[in-house]
Amino acid sequence: MKNFTLLKWLFAFQFLFILTSCEKDSEFVSPDSEITTYDFTVTAEGNYLENFEGVSKTSYAAASVAFSDGNWYFDDALIGSLKDDRKTDSQSARLRNSGSLTMQFDLLEGAKSISVDYGKFGRDKTSTFEMYYSTDAGVSWTKTGSAITVNKTSLKTAVFNLNVTGDVRFEIRKTDGSSNRLNIDNVLVEANPQVTVPEGTIIEDYESGSKGSYAAGSATFASGNWLLDDALVGSLAGDLKTDAKSVRIRNLGALEMEFDVIGAQSISLNHGAYGSDGNSTWELQASTNSGTSWTSLGPIQTTSGNSLTAVNYTMNYLEAVRFRIVKLSGGSNRINIDDFTIDGTEVDPGTGGGTGGGGGVPGSGAVHLTMGNPSNAVTDITFPTNYLLEKEEYTMSYSRDKGTANWVSWHLDEAWLGSAARQNDFRADNTLPSGWYQVNQNDYSLSGFDRGHLCPSADRTLFVDDNSNTFFMTNMMPQAPNNNRIGWASLENYCRSMLAGGYEIYIISGGYGIGGDGSNGVASYIANGNVQVPSNTWKVIMIIADGDDDVNRVTTNTRVIAIDMPNSQSVSSDWTQYKTTVDDIEMKTGYDFFNLVPDNIENVIEASVDAVM
């Protein structure tokens, strides 16, 4: 009898243990159930951030996971903390098959944008995901942006721009359906609180200012300062105007506000062709980051005829914004702009009606500009000789007038290398702005110069597309064959050899001067004058140990190599003969390399000649 009583107690303890161990499963919450809402004040800036730290979910079984800010529903997903999980700190979310991550709570102050970091798990192959949002507590979902392809082992960032106000929640869906796994980290939502629409009107008739030349410069008007580039204030009989003056623009000129206004619901303006000039096209653009980058508004406009024509735009800006008009075609044909009117707005007190400058340099999170933008290049057609052209594999400053890049910058580590074959698909780059000459694959033929890669083909072999994208003609410069195939190639091979030692490399390359010595002799231009031949080819190379937070790991002992090599058939095969200082190449090119490195460190590493080898 005693044994039977003991057996009953053993069964009771076992049952209690089973109940306790199953407690986590009993908290399962359906992804469609209503969860309490949370304040949109997670970060100091008032934005929402989830980095998937501080929780645990080790199986792919569908379940709700409780974070400090609210629950997320993980379907065919878990919290990963392995070496092969791509993450900023110690954890990230890992998805497989058709898995998804769903917020089970609303953010109360809407979303201007949502960004996520993503990367391939381990050596898995390419996969894809999409972003969805819901404004009805998860009853229905709307896709935002395009599908994102995950093909890199290093974390990259995808940004989805929105303009959602009020309650919103998000869902990330893996869409390729394969067993290839991907990681998601650092979900950041920028708040978009509702604000009152301003009711003011700003009318600029350009009567109070003066500017008598086409040279780029500022003019002060009643509304504030405006930048006139290849433009002036016209008052001649041929200028179309409402009163005594209007702005006259020629070539690829621009008329740009150098101040912000708060909000804009509509814009109207008058335009017409100067005198008897022919047709031209132009467009209105807007910037919400003080002129760092610009967005086209509405269709491209055509100006023709000898009378002013009104054009109207409807928009819904609630934040600080500024505008500009950019002439796109028509060559020397001139256009007049007058009576620029903004409704639903007020002048931004922070810029005081416009003494601030525009045309800032865009910051870049791209790895290729980690150490800086040497010439402050911008993606802006009004800067045709310093045009920022960004590709996944490299970034460059392109010169329309030279038909080559001023410089190309790229990051190199073992993650960029694989088994993809050399594609040899030289071709024109159709991402250049409309109307610019596109150097084609035959333009170097019989010139005596090679189509010399700036970012090398062999530095991009992980995927076929990576390698193929090094064959755009924007990534080429005319190189003397002995320069390209011997000295230059030897330097490229040396850089790649450093990777096996546990290093990663930042490389910037280009040419300067006019006139090279090719296999047909000296030439300054090829391709019927569309491509300028440099007299010298140069490279600036920074080598650091593998790691994170690269800029802050640069020290005065960081190895930097600077090479200045004649673009000549007589060049030596020993590239080390052409070592120089970064300072010397900066003096000859006018560029500022590694400008994001602290000055006290930058000054040291740029002043000395590499002593290795």
157 and 213 fall within a common domain:
no
Q: Dihedral of CA 343/348/354/358: which sign? A: negative
Angstrom CA distances, 395 to 71, 388, 392, 474, 509, stand at 40, 7, 8, 11, 11
Q: Dihedral of CA 453/455/461/464: which sign? A: negative
205 and 183 fall within a common domain:
no
Residue 448 falls inside a structural domain? yes
Report phi then psi at 67, rounded to 5. -105, 170
Spatial CA neighbour of 421 closest among 384, 456, 461: 461
Which of 152, 170, 190 is a domain's end point?
190
Amino acid of residue 229: D
Q: In which residue are the tokens 């809402």 written?
A: 37
CATH number at residue 251: 2.60.120.260
On whether the CB atoms of residues 372 and 361 are closer than 8 A, the answer is no
pLDDT attached to residue 429: 95
CA 321 from chain centre, in angstroms, equals: 20
On whether the CB atoms of residues 104 and 138 are closer than 8 A, the answer is yes
Residue 255 falls inside a structural domain? yes
Burial label for 404, CB within 10 Å (0-12, 13-18, 19+), is: buried
Number of domains in the chain: 3
Amino acid of residue 75: D
118-150 core/surface letters (b: 16 or more CB in 10 A; e: else): bbbbeebeebbbbbbbbbebbeebeebeeebbb
On whether the CB atoms of residues 123 and 83 are closer than 8 A, the answer is no
HEC sequence for 309-376: EEEEEEEEEEEEEEEEEEEEECCCCCEEEEEEEEEEEEECCCCCCCCCCCCCCCCCCCHHHCCCCCCC
Spatial CA neighbour of 124 closest among 97, 148, 102: 97
d(CA 392, CA 390): 7
pLDDT attached to residue 45: 64
Residue 7 falls inside a structural domain? no
Spatial CA neighbour of 172 closest among 95, 62, 68: 95
pLDDT attached to residue 296: 92
Residue 358 falls inside a structural domain? no
* Catalytic (active-site) positions: 453
Angstrom CA distances, 588 to 512, 579, 582, 594, stand at 8, 14, 10, 16
Strand partners, 399: 404
445 and 466 fall within a common domain:
yes
181 and 218 fall within a common domain:
no
Residue ranges making up the domain that contains 39: 27-190
163-176 core/surface letters (b: 16 or more CB in 10 A; e: else): ebbebbbbbbbbeb
Strand partners, 390: 395
d(CA 544, CA 21): 49
d(CA 316, CA 294): 16
d(CA 374, CA 592): 5
On whether the CB atoms of residues 462 and 418 are closer than 8 A, the answer is yes
Residue 183 falls inside a structural domain? yes
156 and 226 fall within a common domain:
no
Which of 301, 326, 347 is a domain's end point?
347
185 and 225 fall within a common domain:
no
222 and 311 fall within a common domain:
yes
pLDDT attached to residue 9: 47
450 and 549 fall within a common domain:
yes
Structure tokens at 44: 């100091």
Which of 146, 168, 190 is a domain's end point?
190
Structure tokens at 161: 């721009």
Amino acid of residue 144: T
d(CA 226, CA 59): 59
Spatial CA neighbour of 263 closest among 324, 342, 353: 342
pLDDT attached to residue 1: 43
Q: What angle do CA 440, 444, 449 make, to 5 degrees?
A: 150
Helix (H) or strand (E) holding 12: helix 2-21
pLDDT attached to residue 30: 38
388 and 530 fall within a common domain:
yes
pLDDT attached to residue 115: 95
306 and 158 fall within a common domain:
no
Residue 334 falls inside a structural domain? yes
Residue 3 falls inside a structural domain? no
pLDDT attached to residue 43: 61
Q: Which residues of the chain have pLDDT under 70?
A: 1-45, 195-199, 348-366, 613
pLDDT attached to residue 258: 92
Residue 517 falls inside a structural domain? yes
CATH number at residue 494: 3.40.570.10
On whether the CB atoms of residues 35 and 70 are closer than 8 A, the answer is yes
On whether the CB atoms of residues 341 and 270 are closer than 8 A, the answer is no
- The two counts, helices (H) then strands (E), for the chain are 6, 32
Structure tokens at 416: 């960029």
Structure tokens at 585: 């190449």
205 and 186 fall within a common domain:
no
Q: Using the 8-state DSSP alphabet, how is residue 487 labeled?
A: I
d(CA 414, CA 503): 9
211 and 152 fall within a common domain:
no
d(CA 312, CA 303): 14
d(CA 537, CA 560): 17
Q: 3-class DSSP state for residue 378?
A: strand
